[in-house]
Amino acid sequence: MADLRRLSFNQITVNSWTLREALDGCVRHGIPAIGLWRDKVYAMGLRGAAKLVKASGVAVSSLCRGGAFPATTREERQKRIEDNLRAIDEAAALGTTVLVLVCGALAGRDLEGSRSMVVDGIAAIEPHACERGIKLGIEPLHPMYAADRSVIVSLKQAREIAARFAPESVGVVVDVFHVWHDPDLYQEIEQLQGRILGFHVSDWPVPLPGILMGRTMMGEGVIELDRIRSAVDRAGYTGPIEVEIFNQKIWDQAGDQVLELMKRRFLECV
Amino acid sequence: MADLRRLSFNQITVNSWTLREALDGCVRHGIPAIGLWRDKVYAMGLRGAAKLVKASGVAVSSLCRGGAFPATTREERQKRIEDNLRAIDEAAALGTTVLVLVCGALAGRDLEGSRSMVVDGIAAIEPHACERGIKLGIEPLHPMYAADRSVIVSLKQAREIAARFAPESVGVVVDVFHVWHDPDLYQEIEQLQGRILGFHVSDWPVPLPGILMGRTMMGEGVIELDRIRSAVDRAGYTGPIEVEIFNQKIWDQAGDQVLELMKRRFLECV
């Protein structure tokens, strides 16, 4: 089982908390790391956020998120690239080394073209990421988000894109919710040796209550979390394990209660 | 573009219609084939249904459905196999050559074990299917149904299972809604040469309104239907193309209106 030294609280899991409240929560509950979201950082301002994070002593496992590369016009694609360059700077200012990429929605109906735009987008931002010491973590999303969130839908796809770049620059974020069903899951994780930049946990309840807000707390679904975690360990990833849950029922609970349950389930299930 | 001689009306698309109404609808609209569902057949009784189908002159492209193989106990798995044997007999009585397999939900949390149960289940029913002249069509479902409907989630998986059996016995049903996102879609279809037993069309709207009832009429989503249909043609499939749509808004419309739209969109989009 993973121990709490590897636990990272992805702040979306208590969506009602501000950045300050989330950091205080980590300190109060002895959680060593946090995954940050750009909108929560903006709500406080980047400089203030960076100071607050540093003062808290809580490590930043990643910043969510860059990506969103495909668009039907060249101008719009260029805007997205510029936004990614800013995200890289923000990640550096916040003291993390990983920017998570949610690669983006289908442009029009051209799935192959959209996938090429993702490769082009990563190529466009990779030099700046290198310069700032930021690694780009391609997170394949579940295929149910292929049209509106990420045309990158499998570990194989993410691995093949990452392989075009140096392992120091571009890797893959493994989120169990998105990939648990993959018939090639364990072979793919094995092939990601040296390329895993993050590992996200949650669970897949049956029935799934919704498309975006469907995932739940570890232990309340069908994902073989411990088995996947062991495979990720064997692939050489020893970094933080983020708990990232979008779920209205969990969002409606008191943050401290969620953090307590999260810690317990992390120890029991991951 | 496909012509109307290849159109098959999967009767779930007008879910309110009885078998008799569905057959009358096909005759009225000049639709040469129908995909039947076992519950609609049962509502009339198998003998009566078989007679009615024969008298209608409408061809039966497939019967939905067998499958549901994984279960946590041996007794329950045996029950499922017996149900599949009955489905094979029903398919033969109804005059179709294809039984569609929706392979079944996760048993417990054991994804690999459940997948093995599917292979074992198909092996158990294949001799009887052969004897009755029925081909078993493995339909991989979208990965969002991996836990509760089908642990078989990709064309590759379906192809590899089918390859354990003779092409005369076991093949694959390609449904665009389930596989459009697959990064290996066109290579997989190419490799299915001689193994495609059915082709189902509908569309993927953005955003997707729900998990089970999300799909919509061709032309109202983002799937490259004509491109996929061409690939399926090139893989040697020249049989009926079923329109299969689970969608409450469509179910709430008058059946004749749905059939008119279906024919028009089939010609425009498929």
pLDDT tens column, B95-104: 999 999 999 9
CB atoms within 10 A of CB B270: 21
Yes or no, beta carbons of A211 and B208 under 8 Å apart: yes
Contacts with A115 from chain B: Cβ below 8 Å:
183
Note down pLDDT in tens along chain A; length 270 residues. Answer: 669 999 999 999 999 999 999 999 999 999 999 999 999 999 999 999 999 999 999 999 999 999 999 999 999 999 999 999 999 999 999 999 999 999 999 999 999 999 999 999 999 999 999 999 999 999 999 999 999 999 999 999 999 999 999 999 999 999 999 999 999 999 999 999 999 999 999 999 999 999 989 999 999 999 999 999 999 999 999 999 999 999 999 999 999 999 999 999 999 999
Tell me, what's the pLDDT at A185? 98
How close is the nearest chain A Cα to the Cα of B76, in Å? 20
Exposed, middle or buried by CB within 10 Å (0-12, 13-18, 19+), for A185?
buried
- The answer to whether residue B1 scores a pLDDT higher than 70 is no
Yes or no, beta carbons of A109 and B208 under 8 Å apart: no
How close is the nearest chain A Cα to the Cα of B180, in Å? 9
Q: What is the mean pLDDT of residues B125-134?
A: 98
- The answer to whether residue B10 scores a pLDDT higher than 90 is yes
How far apart, in whole angstroms, are the C-alpha atoms of residue A3 and residue B228?
Answer: 47
Within chain B, strands assigned E span: 7-10, 33-37, 59-67, 98-102, 135-138, 170-175, 196-201, 241-243
The answer to whether B69 touches B80, Cβ cutoff 8 Å, is yes
Mutate to test the interface with A, among B72, B103, B111, B150 (most CBs of A within 10 A): B111
How close is the nearest chain A Cα to the Cα of B114, in Å? 12
Residue of A nearest to B150 (CA): A181
How far apart, in whole angstroms, are the C-alpha atoms of residue A185 and residue A206?
Answer: 20
Residue of A nearest to B223 (CA): A109
How close is the nearest chain B Cα to the Cα of A157, in Å? 7
> Measured between CB atoms, which of A111, A181, A222 is closest to B153?
A181
Q: What angle do CA B55, B59, B61 make, to 5 degrees?
A: 145
ipTM computed for the complex: 0.96
Mutate to test the interface with B, among A103, A109, A115 (most CBs of B within 10 A): A109
> Measured between CB atoms, which of A111, A206, A224 is closest to B224?
A111
- The answer to whether residue B2 scores a pLDDT higher than 80 is no
Query: What separation in angstroms does the CA of A148 have from each of A142, B102, B175, B181?
Result: 11, 27, 20, 12
Residue located via tokens 């059996």: B165
